[in-house]
Amino acid sequence: MKETSSQPVADDAPLRPAKDPVKGRVTRLLKAWPEALLLLLTVVLAIPVAMMAGPAFVGPGQPLSTPAPPAWQRPPATLAPRQGLPPLQDSAPVPLPSAVSTQLEALLKADGGGGFTGLVQDALTGQVLFDRGGSDNRIPASNMKLLTAVAALRALGPDHRFSTRVLSGPAAGQVVLTGGGDVLLGAGDSMPAQVMGHAGLATLAVSTVAALKEKGTAGQVTVLVDDSLFSGPALNPAWAQGDVEAGEQAPLFPLALNSARFDPVATTGPRPQDSAVTAAQAFAAQLKAAGAAAGLSVTDGVARFQASSGPAPSGPASSGPAPSAPAADGGGPAVLAEVQSATVSQQVDLMLQTSDNYLAEILGRMSAVAAGQPGSNTGATEAVRKQLTELGIPTDTMRLADVCGLALDNQVSARQFAEVVRAITSGTDTRLRTALAGFPVAGLTGTLGARYGDNATARGAGLVRAKTGTLNSVIALSGYVVDADSRLLVFSFIGNGLTPGAAGNKEALDRAATALAACGCR
């Protein structure tokens, strides 16, 4: 039963209006709006927080999908086809001599006076493909360094190194810096990864101080220098005085800093005129710095070692042979310290790449010393001739005035240079292969790095590899190239009597070599 109120209602009580249900709902919504807005904001902020914090509680989930990168950013599905030159094949066709001659005769034209000789051979068979005065003697300029490279690699061996030693001196407190043929010494620490500066005088000084301490040496130390490994004139009389003054060459000694340069990066300008004393002074400075903590002091100045009458005053090298220090064995003076050069093959590469005249002459003289001959200019030229003869290359017509190519008295034929390149690339003496890396690459390295950049020669860039040669009226290029049919060709082009500075002569050589690289001459 539904309960009812028993309270009476007075007749005179005022009447209350009825409530509007819609208005009531609006009122309640307005009152609740701040709380709803706050709740909505909380939810919105909580979603990203939950997404970041969630994996920490429930572990890693599936990564969100991302659009695939463009094709050029994706790893390749298959390897690209092999590019570059195909392997050389003995069965590759040999160019027709008539076709080769037709191309080269049109290109080898002198710009002004003079003219070119040249020879091209198939490297494998020796077949002559082009011959324009190939047997005529010519001034070869720096192509001479190819002959020196062959002689050094054969007489010394690719892996041979030159030693620079410090020996006990004849009197107490004396040390003798002894040159052994390394003219690429650095003044600082040895740098094993470099050719120039491979052996450093700072490293040698530190080792010397350690040896002196072990011997109980204290007090003052005097540095002597022994440069007696070489004999004869330090300057070749066949070199023009103007070339020497311009820094193309310098007096030769069996030890030097930076290939007888004041700065290892300098390739022109004045040179030390006594590189042995210059190196000894640098060593004395390093010895002074290294010996200070060990209680050693180093006297100012250096003197040349004299076997008979004691040290002589420091001064220019004598033009005649000097007595050498006793050997460091058989009861001779003790070897206190030693550093070794880069290998002969590495030095040959540097010589060919940069056409370093000083280094070429040193390698020639060291080849003579290795054969038991005097370390002189005559010894160097005879050592080169001997090695070429033993290699089977006729030398009867050659005239060798030096081994770097600076002398105008040199006379060598294009045929002889082509045969030398052929011996390097494909001859039976595999020691010569180590010289291949030294050939400048057209448009990329060494003395060919700035060439082969125009439309007429660009096809030879990266393919032509050759030794350059340049004097005032002489230009030469001897090297090798793989033709369009994968045949290895060797060549030598030599221009004499040319108009000095005529740009077309260098261009003629580069175009001729480029034609060989592009040759499918059948």
pLDDT in tens, 80-116: 665 555 567 778 899 999 999 999 999 999 999 999 9
Q: Is 417 helix (H, G, I), strand (E, B) or coil?
A: helix
Residue 386 φ/ψ, nearest 5 degrees: -60, -45
Cα angle 301, 307, 309 (rounded to 5 degrees) comes to 75
pLDDT of residue 62: 54
pLDDT of residue 394: 95
Angle between helical axes of 503-517 and 97-107 (0-180°, round to 10): 160
Q: Are strands 219-226 and 488-496 parallel, antiparallel or unpaired?
A: unpaired
Q: Which has the minimum average pLDDT: 120-124, 156-160, 332-336, 367-371?
A: 332-336
Task: Tell me the domain boundaries of the chain.
Answer: 97-156+346-517, 163-342
pLDDT tens digits, one per residue of 489-522:
999 999 999 999 999 999 999 999 999 999 888 8
Q: Of 309, 305, 311, 339, which Cα lies nearest the Cα of 324?
A: 305
Q: Read off the tokens for 294.
A: 């060990």
pLDDT of residue 156: 98
pLDDT tens digits, one per residue of 292-344:
988 899 999 999 998 654 433 333 333 333 333 334 445 578 899 999 999 99
- CB 297 within 8 Å of CB 291: yes
Task: Check if CATH label 3.40.710.10 holds for domain 97-156+346-517.
Answer: yes
Cα angle 104, 108, 112 (rounded to 5 degrees) comes to 165
pLDDT of residue 322: 34
> Full-prediction pTM beyond 0.85?
no
d(CA 471, CA 239): 12
What average pLDDT does this structure show over 399-427?
98
Average pLDDT, the chain: 86
